[in-house]
């Protein structure tokens, strides 16, 4: 029993160290890190050790802001979600970004609605005040909200990337309906959405070349983040849980062997 107690104490000490090390690192301002393994398909956030690439998320947000935000909303994302825990914006950057847009609020003391600058706690201001206005501005079609588009569409980020890069000239003999655009990623190869991306459409702050494929990759990563912003934290917690359960299993196996050792004698021949 003494041996079992020593084993249990050692395992509990290891578990305590595992729990306290991240807390001590956080108090000292040291970033808590886990191994990063680049997946075969090139997305940094794929796989059990995947993590967000903040530079990519910032570029993706820039692509959304300059090319997509004119038609598509992000109704489930607040400005304050774009913090250092999100895509790396500081408090002052978020305040300035929110204040650059105005939203309707009220009523005031006179019973009238009024416009005010958005606050960090507000959701990102949509391009249209309501669905009817959105349809009227887009030939009767309602641009979908992009907050959860990666989860809402079959194929997720693969479909979104293929859609953004799938525009091309229709082949000879293909009947393209009026007002439609040829796109190999959709059923029927026709869509009412005009090509949103073109080479050098934006100028990235970090100097990355703004090719159509690069912009499509970055905005797809950003919209994957809006659909699952807690992905990285969940994976870190999952890694700790797996280590905890592995050590706990070792401890129980050691205890079982110690407790039942006196019953594990070989039988005597008759």
- The DSSP bridge pattern shows strands 190-191 and 181-182 to be antiparallel
The sign of the dihedral angle between the CA atoms of 110, 111, 113, 118 is: positive
pLDDT in single tens digits along all 270 residues of the chain: 555 555 555 555 555 544 444 434 433 333 334 333 333 357 888 888 888 999 999 999 999 999 999 999 999 999 999 987 678 888 999 999 999 999 888 888 888 888 999 999 999 999 999 999 999 999 888 999 999 999 998 889 999 999 999 999 999 989 899 889 999 999 889 998 999 999 999 999 999 999 999 999 999 999 999 999 998 888 889 989 999 999 999 999 988 888 887 776 555 555
Per the structure, the complete domain to which residue 25 belongs is given by 2-31+233-263
Residue 260: what pLDDT?
82
Residue 245 lies in a domain: yes
What's the Cα-to-Cα distance from 54 to each of 135, 142, 176, 239, rounded to whole Å?
34, 31, 40, 21
Residue 27 lies in a domain: yes
Residue 24 lies in a domain: yes
What's the Cα-to-Cα distance from 47 to each of 39, 194, 219, rounded to whole Å?
7, 34, 20
Mapped onto helix, strand or coil, the DSSP state of residue 23 is helix
Residue 226 lies in a domain: no
Residue 250 lies in a domain: yes
Q: Which residues make beta-bridge pairs with 105?
A: 114
Number of compact structural domains in the chain: 1
Residue 9 lies in a domain: yes
169: left (phi over 0), alpha (psi -120 to 50) or beta: beta
Give the DSSP H or E segment for 58: helix 54-63
Report, in angstroms and rounded to the nearest whole number, the Rg of the chain calculated over CA atoms.
27
Helix axes 231-259, 2-27, angle to 10 degrees: 170
Q: Euclidean distance between the first and final Cα of the chain, in Å?
A: 32
Residue 150 lies in a domain: no
Residue 57: what pLDDT?
94
Residue 42 lies in a domain: no
* Backbone phi and psi for residue 184, each to the nearest 5 degrees, phi listed first: -75, -10
């Amino acid at each position: 029993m003494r041996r079992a107690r020593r084993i249990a104490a050692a395992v509990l000490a290891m578990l305590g160290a595992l729990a306290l090390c991240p807390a001590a690192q956080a108090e000292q301002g040291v970033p808590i890190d886990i191994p990063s393994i680049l997946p075969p398909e090139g997305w940094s956030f794929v796989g059990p050790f995947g993590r967000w690439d903040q530079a990519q998320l910032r570029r993706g947000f820039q692509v959304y802001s300059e090319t997509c935000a004119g038609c598509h909303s992000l109704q489930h994302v607040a400005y304050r979600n774009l913090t250092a825990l999100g895509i790396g914006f500081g408090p002052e950057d978020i305040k300035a970004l929110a204040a650059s847009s105005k939203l309707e609020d009220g009523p005031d003391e006179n019973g009238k609605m009024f416009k005010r600058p958005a606050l960090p706690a507000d959701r990102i201001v949509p391009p249209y005040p309501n669905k009817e206005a959105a349809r009227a501005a887009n030939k009767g079609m309602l641009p979908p909200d992009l907050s959860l588009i990666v989860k809402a569409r079959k194929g997720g980020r693969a479909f979104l990337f293929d859609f953004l890069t799938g525009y091309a000239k229709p082949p000879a003999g293909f009947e393209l309906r009026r007002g439609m655009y040829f796109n190999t990623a959709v059923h029927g190869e026709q869509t009412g959405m005009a090509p949103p991306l073109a080479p050098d459409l934006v100028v990235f702050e970090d100097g990355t070349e703004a090719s159509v494929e690069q912009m499509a990759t970055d905005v797809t990563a950003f919209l994957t983040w809006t659909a699952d912003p807690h992905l990285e934290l969940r994976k870190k917690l999952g890694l700790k849980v797996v280590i905890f359960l592995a050590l706990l299993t070792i401890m129980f196996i050691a205890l079982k062997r110690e407790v039942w050792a006196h019953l594990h004698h070989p039988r005597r021949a008759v």
